[in-house]
Structure 1
Amino acid sequence: MVYRKYYQRGRYVKKLIDDYCVLDIETTGLSWQKDKIIEIGILKIRNQKIVERYSQLINPQIHINAFITQLTGIDNQMVQDMPCLSNIQNDVLQFIGQDIIIGHNVTFDLNFIANRFQVNLPNEYMDTMQFARKVYPALPHHRLTDMVELLNLSTNEHRSLADCISTYELYEHLKNQIIEQNISL
């Protein structure tokens, strides 16, 4: 039996904030134990506005299958000359800094980041999917694509930066709804 250390993805919180980072990744599959990150996108938000963007394709050093290419548009040729994950790790962690990280179903992304970088993330994080469930409890699904369609947000494309923009717009919308409707977090 092989023992594997699991790294911490940060601490989940629920807050209404104006300064944060939005994070999204694309991967070769759903398992952080077996699959690899092929793209990272991050938005830095200050006073509810996008002030900086980080986007990087990553060479996973394994084959990207046809399903993932069809879903994301990212193929093997696109990543062959890109840096591997270890070459961008410091850039990603410095970009995020001590910010609260926001994402849609963000535990997926943070499990990959923490365990593929082999670091315990100290950051607090929030999940817009959980906020969407609070604001729209009657919806059958709260996937990012469902919320984008419902609220007519920027199209999410299963590309990191585009999904970050959709998630940013969603969080700002949900935050306003929580304030207006006096919804308890």
Structure 2
Amino acid sequence: MEYAILDIETTGGKYNEEGITEIAIYRFDGTKVVDQFASLVNPERSIQPFVVNLTGINSEMLRNAPKFYEVAKRIIEITDGAVLVAHNAKFDNRILTTEFDRLGYNFEKETLCTVELAKKLIPDMPSYSLGKLVRSLGIPLSDRHRAQGDAKATVELFKILLVKDTNKDIVKQFVKRDPKKQIDTKLLEIIKGTPSEVGVYYMHNEQGDIIYIGKSKNIKKRLTQHFTSDNRKSKAIQLVVTAVTFEKTGNELIALLQESDEIKKHKPKYNRALRKTVFNYQLGSFKDELGYINLKIEKADARKKAITTFSNYQSAKNNLENIINKYNLCQRLGGFHTTKGSCFNYEIKQCEGACIQEETPELYNTRVQNFLDEYSYADKNMLVIDRGRDIEERSVVLIEEGKFKGFGFYNLNYQINNPEILKSIIRPMDNNRDSQHIIQSYLRKNKVLKIVNLKSNSVK
């Protein structure tokens, strides 16, 4: 077993929009470092000021540094066949995966997090931040918050963790995950024929019946998980599955919609036939006696018109707080300030005074309507355009008068600009609460290529 122990410094900024400014990787064979690579990287974007202060890396230093695509091949070589190890591995792996995605390369690695391992193997430490943890363990750390210094310290920390791991759980978990050791020939052949791409997959028994439907960003990886898992349902599926068919979808929104629709249609044995509703709360609105539009989080109720839905109350609360801040709305009219008088945002000049009638309902409601127009697709006619199944193709989700009609794929713009052609390429689907929630939730959390607003009745 070999490991690629790494550290990455980034520009900071919005989630999944960060760029790498420095990377260091040490190839470790369990006893010694056998290869190493370190480089500054030109991120081709600005660096957040607090990051400059933290790392000391500024744009001037990176002007002549190689861009990511120039070091990508070396990164692939030094990590080939190795498990990625990092302090907060989810972060480093996400940054690397995102950079390779921008190059159109599928970078998939098993990961180990030294934060999680240290908490398990060295409990009761005062802190598990890299700096404080290695200091507590007597590991020298030079150039803190620089990739090479932090990666070197992580190598020494990992050596200690391997020694501490008397049950050999670190090694055993990867031996267990190796499909060549765990999966019988039949299942290996099934996996071999599937893509490492996003889509929906269908498991069949020997009669050809669909026994399970799932979706994944990486079908091959997800099937490997199914076929190596030892939980009761997975073991039962492994015994009876004889084939897997799949449909690539190009993006996760289409995969989510198709999976939800197909499970309701086929009711496969190993899916929960009556899958629990994925949303429990919704955002509603009402006009009070003074004429102000109020926003309100409430329990999901099909009898009430919802602006959007949420999986849980905390998600609803966080999103409504963001909405209030983004659109300069009143906390009291958003249900966050129940006492009489002005809300907290008014005191810090982030509310125009609707809570104490300083702002007229007409002015206040204009901003609420701006939010409703952007956030909700109720009564709207629109197309959601995103990536398709190959580089020349696009996917389209059709919304008519606020109702989800279905999705399709196209290669040429005239296909979606012509109502009759659009109708013919769309795969009709039910406009149920699950599909509405999937679309609303996805658009809140993810960027799509574009949203096209249509004229009313344009696709009738």
Q: CA separation in 2, counterparts of 1:183 and 1:20?
A: 15
Query: 1:111: how far off?
Result: 0.3
- Structure showing greater Rg: 2
Instruction: Report what 1:167 is aligned to.
Output: 154
Query: 1:141: how far off?
Result: 2.9
For residue 54 of structure 1, give the secondary structure of its aligned residue in structure 2: strand
Instruction: Report what 1:98 is aligned to.
Output: 81
Q: Does structure 2 retain, via aligned residues, the 8 Å contact 1:27–1:39? A: yes
Q: CA separation in 1, counterparts of 2:36 and 2:61?
A: 20
Query: 1:46: how far off?
Result: 2.4
Instruction: Report what 1:36 is aligned to.
Output: 19
Query: 1:66: how far off?
Result: 2.9
Q: Which moves more between the two structures, 72-81 or 134-143?
A: 134-143
For residue 165 of structure 2, give the secondary structure of its aligned residue in structure 1: helix
TM-score (norm: length of structure 1): 0.81
Q: CA separation in 2, counterparts of 1:122 and 1:174?
A: 24
For residue 123 of structure 1, give the secondary structure of its aligned residue in structure 2: coil
Q: CA separation in 1, counterparts of 2:95 and 2:4?
A: 17
Q: Does 1:71 align with 2:57?
A: no
Q: Does 1:133 align with 2:133?
A: no
1:47-126 alignment, distance < 5 Å: 47-118=30-101, 119-126=105-112
Query: 1:55: how far off?
Result: 0.5
Q: Does structure 2 retain, via aligned residues, the 8 Å contact 1:135–1:183? A: no
CA offset digits 1:59-111 (Å, max 9, x no partner)? 11122233212211211111000111122111211121111111110110000
2:163 partner amino acid: N
Q: List 4+ stretches of structure 1 deviating above 6 A.
A: none
Query: Identity of aligned pairs, percent?
Result: 29
TM-score (norm: length of structure 2): 0.34
For residue 170 of structure 1, give the secondary structure of its aligned residue in structure 2: helix
Q: CA separation in 1, counterparts of 2:47 and 2:109?
A: 30
For residue 64 of structure 1, give the secondary structure of its aligned residue in structure 2: coil
Q: CA separation in 1, counterparts of 2:66 and 2:110?
A: 28
2:117 partner amino acid: F
Q: Does structure 2 retain, via aligned residues, the 8 Å contact 1:32–1:115? A: no
Query: 1:184: how far off?
Result: 6.1
CA offset digits 1:124-145 (Å, max 9, x no partner)? 2111111100123323531111
For residue 41 of structure 1, give the secondary structure of its aligned residue in structure 2: strand
Change (3 A) 1:183 1:136: farther
Change (3 A) 1:41 1:30: farther
Q: Does structure 2 retain, via aligned residues, the 8 Å contact 1:154–1:165? A: no
1:21 partner amino acid: A
Q: Does 1:154 align with 2:137?
A: no
**Structure 2 gap ranges (5+):** 171-460
Q: CA separation in 1, counterparts of 2:92 and 2:15?
A: 9
For residue 90 of structure 1, give the secondary structure of its aligned residue in structure 2: helix
Change (3 A) 1:109 1:184: closer
Q: CA separation in 1, counterparts of 2:80 and 2:168?
A: 30
Q: CA separation in 1, counterparts of 2:14 and 2:136?
A: 29
Q: Does structure 2 retain, via aligned residues, the 8 Å contact 1:26–1:40? A: yes
Q: CA separation in 2, counterparts of 1:28 and 1:130?
A: 25
1:170 partner amino acid: L
Q: CA separation in 2, counterparts of 1:117 and 1:32?
A: 16
Matched residue pairs, number? 166
Q: CA separation in 1, counterparts of 2:71 and 2:169?
A: 39
Q: Does structure 1 retain, via aligned residues, the 8 Å contact 2:3–2:30? A: no
Instruction: Report what 2:222 is aligned to.
Output: none
1:171 partner amino acid: F
1:95 partner amino acid: I
Q: Does structure 1 retain, via aligned residues, the 8 Å contact 2:84–2:110? A: yes
For residue 29 of structure 1, give the secondary structure of its aligned residue in structure 2: coil
For residue 91 of structure 1, give the secondary structure of its aligned residue in structure 2: helix
Change (3 A) 1:113 1:85: same
